[in-house]
């Protein structure tokens, strides 16, 4: 069976087509600058990479080209070969606790939740509509980034603000990267042959979050009402005292929206290093003695350690700490610095085993009090697996 995994952004559409028997990616690609001048797409299949310019007025244009190309490149011989489509959805509110089949109501609910995810949910809705137009009979499933976190206790998801804000406006912690944390949970449980694990999953990419998981369920997570909260990130602040907002508004004559944009786009590794949001550049800066990079790297590490330590206590210890996403999978130095700061808990790294990038690897020392693993994430595959399961039901 073939399943397509889709991630529609406001001006982009990312796709992967999986052969589910082998979990192999048959073709993947990205349409960019949809609705903007200079639109183009890239498609990768076998050993080929194709880049072409094309006018893309809307998501429907991208979907039409995508499906035509699949036939033209002989990846499939007819559109009926696509058995299902899974869409990544950033926000499912409190209502959606698992992946579901797309119905008219589900699509409208996703649009209604735009209030909580104004950059993402409207784009996801457009993605769904574009596919419905061209493939009206193909079953579609939606997979929510927030769903995995809906098992948190109220004590963990509420903010200590007036309770009516929660009741009237749904102000609460939602958590994000749920599809990745769920994939990590599944992968490490398979690897260790146990479902009853206490896991601390560290998704450290350009965006990052740490999640505490017990018996396969999320107990707590570092992102909050929006993906701004939690650990320091590439360009996002992570946790900050919100009194900074009115203070800097007055100093710089900016609006609240502008400060929020600075929090999201000009902060984190970029804000502190004054150089780059990319952890590879920060690492190079550290090696060449750049003081701002050294500071940024140390702040990043401490912010991750703070959450691991909190969740270690909240879970009553941990069986395994997993590192995933761009930095977690690839940055040997960042993992080493994080684990060094956990030595008080008896957690120890095997330095030689840690000298690896992007591979499922056990990296804890033999005498470590808790296992440490690199677990490459695969959100696209998780979306495809959910889609397959739901359409087979
Ligand atoms: P993601 O958002 O998961 O794609 O992760 C992006 C982040 O991963 C960026 O900060 C990259 O610098 C970082 N990254 C990717 N490859 C490496 C690497 N080899 N070493 C260090 N960081 C890396």
Q: Quick one: what percent of the chain has pLDDT higher than 70?
A: 100
Q: Cα dist. 32→43, 138, 314, 368 in Å?
A: 11, 24, 42, 45
Amino acid 279: pLDDT: 97
pLDDT given for residue 218 in this prediction: 98
Q: Which of 234, 280, 379 most suits a substitution to test ligand 1, by most atoms within 8 Å of the C-beta? A: 280
Please check the confidence at residue 268 and state whether its pLDDT lies above 90. yes
Report pLDDT digits (tens) over 14-44. 999 999 999 999 999 999 999 999 999 999 9
Q: Are strands 320-324 and 198-204 parallel, antiparallel or unpaired?
A: parallel
Query: What is the structure's pLDDT at 321?
Result: 99
Question: Which residues have a catalytic role annotated?
Answer: 145
Per-residue model confidence (pLDDT) at position 36: 93
pLDDT at 93 over 90: yes
Residue from 181, 329, 331, 334 whose mutation best tests the ligand 1 pocket (most atoms within 8 A of CB): 331
**Which of 14, 177, 180, 205 has most ligand 1 atoms within 8 Å of CB, for mutation?**
205
Q: Write down all domains in the chain, each with its CATH number in brackets.
A: 2-144 (3.30.420.40), 185-379 (3.30.420.40)
Which of 61, 117, 66, 64 minimizes the C-alpha distance to 89? 117
pLDDT at 359 over 90: yes
Handedness of CA 164, 167, 171, 173 (dihedral sign): positive
Quick check: 10 pLDDT over 90? no
- What is the four-CA torsion angle of 48, 49, 52, 56, rounded to 10 degrees? 110
> Does the pLDDT at position 130 exceed 90?
yes
Closest CA to 41 of 11, 77, 74, 72: 11
- CA 79, CA 125: separation in Å to the nearest integer? 22
Tell me the pLDDT band of 119, cut-offs 50, 70 and 90: confident
* Rounded average pLDDT over 125-153: 96
Nearest to 321, CA basis, from 182, 179, 198: 198
Q: Tell me if 238 CB under 6 Å of ligand 1.
A: no
Confidence of residue 363 (pLDDT cuts 50, 70, 90): very high
How does 345-356 read in b/e, with b if 16+ C-beta sit within 10 Å? bebbbbeeebee
How would residue 118 be classed by pLDDT, with cut points 50, 70 and 90?
Answer: confident
Question: Residue 291 contacts by C-beta under 8 Å, 6 or more apart in sequence?
Answer: none
* pLDDT of 302 strictly over 90: yes
For the residues 353-372, what does the mean pLDDT come to? Answer: 98
**What is the mean pLDDT of the segment spanning 100-123?**
94
Cα–Cα dist 285/275, whole Å: 9
Ligand 1 neighbourhood includes 376 CB (under 6 angstroms): no
Closest CA to 372 of 327, 392, 342: 342
Order of strands across the sheet with 82-89?
Answer: 48-53, 40-45, 24-32, 13-19, 2-8, 82-89, 140-144, 100-101
pLDDT of residue 259: 97
Q: Alpha-carbon distance 209 to 267, whole Å? A: 16
> How large is the average pLDDT for residues 170-196?
98
Residue 359 alpha carbon to ligand 1 centre in Å? 14
User: Per-residue pLDDT tens for 202-248?
Assistant: 999 999 999 999 999 999 999 999 999 999 999 999 999 999 999 99
What is the whole-number distance in angstroms between the Cα of residue 329 and the centre of ligand 1?
Answer: 8
Tens digits of per-residue pLDDT, 243-257?
A: 999 999 999 999 999
* Ordered DSSP codes for 371-389: EEEE----HHHHHHHHHHH
- Centre of ligand 1 from the C-alpha of residue 231, in Å: 16
pLDDT at position 362, please? 98
Beta-carbon-side half-sphere exposure of residue 81 (alpha carbons within 13 Å):
15
Task: Using the mean position of ligand 1's atoms as its centre, give its distance from the Cα of residue 184 in Å.
Answer: 18
Ligand 1 within 6 A of CB of 328: no
CA 174 – CA 225 distance, rounded (Å): 5
Q: Which regions of the chain does DSSP assign to beta strands (E)?
A: 2-8, 13-19, 24-32, 40-45, 48-53, 82-89, 100-101, 140-144, 198-204, 208-214, 217-221, 320-324, 361-362, 371-374
pLDDT tens column, 36-87: 999 999 999 999 999 999 999 999 999 999 999 999 999 999 999 999 999 9
Average confidence score pLDDT of the chain: 97
Residues 6 or more apart whose CB falls under 8 angstroms from that of 17 comprise 2, 3, 4, 5, 25, 26, 27, 28, 70, 75, 76, 82
Q: How far apart are CA 52 and CA 44, in angstroms?
A: 12
In our burial notation (b when 16+ CB lie closer than 10 A, e otherwise), range 279-305 reads bebbbebbeeebebbbebbebbbebbb
Tell me the mean pLDDT in the region 131-145. 96
């Amino acid at each position: 069976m073939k399943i397509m995994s889709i991630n529609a952004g406001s001006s982009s559409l990312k796709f992967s087509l999986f052969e589910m028997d082998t979990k192999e990616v048959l073709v993947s690609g990205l349409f960019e600058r949809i609705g903007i001048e200079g639109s183009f797409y890239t498609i990768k299949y076998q050993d080929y990479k194709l880049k072409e310019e094309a006018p893309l007025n809307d998501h429907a244009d991208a979907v039409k080209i995508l499906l035509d190309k699949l036939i033209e490149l002989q990846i499939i011989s007819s559109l009926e070969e696509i058995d299902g489509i899974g869409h990544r959805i950033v926000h499912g509110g409190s209502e959606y606790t698992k992946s579901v089949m797309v119905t008219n109501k589900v699509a409208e609910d996703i649009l209604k939740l735009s209030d909580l995810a104004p950059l993402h949910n409207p784009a996801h809705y457009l993605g769904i509509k574009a596919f419905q137009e061209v493939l009206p009979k193909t079953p579609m499933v939606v997979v929510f980034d927030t769903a995995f976190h809906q098992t948190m206790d109220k004590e963990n998801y509420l903010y200590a603000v007036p309770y009516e804000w929660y009741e009237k406006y749904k102000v609460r912690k939602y958590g994000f990267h749920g599809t990745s944390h769920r994939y990590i949970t599944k992968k490490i449980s398979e690897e260790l042959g146990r479902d009853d694990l206490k896991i601390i999953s560290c998704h450290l990419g350009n965006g990052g979050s740490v999640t505490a998981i017990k018996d396969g369920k999320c107990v707590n997570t570092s992102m909050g009402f929006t993906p701004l909260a939690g650990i320091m990130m590439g360009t996002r602040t992570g946790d900050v005292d919100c009194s900074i907002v009115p203070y800097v508004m007055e100093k710089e004559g900016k609006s609240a929206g502008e400060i929020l944009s600075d929090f999201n786009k000009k902060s984190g590794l970029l804000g502190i290093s004054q150089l780059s949001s990319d952890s590879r550049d920060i690492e190079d800066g550290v090696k060449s003695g750049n003081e701002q990079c050294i500071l940024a790297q140390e702040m990043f590490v401490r912010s991750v350690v703070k959450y691991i330590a909190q969740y270690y206590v909240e879970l009553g210890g941990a069986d395994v700490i997993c590192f995933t996403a761009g930095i977690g999978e690839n940055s040997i130095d960042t993992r080493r610095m994080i684990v060094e700061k956990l030595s008080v808990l008896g957690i120890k790294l095997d330095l030689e085993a840690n000298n690896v990038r992007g591979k499922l690897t056990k990296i804890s020392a033999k005498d470590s009090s808790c296992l440490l693993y690199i677990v490459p994430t695969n959100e696209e595959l998780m979306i495809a697996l959910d889609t397959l399961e739901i359409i087979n039901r």
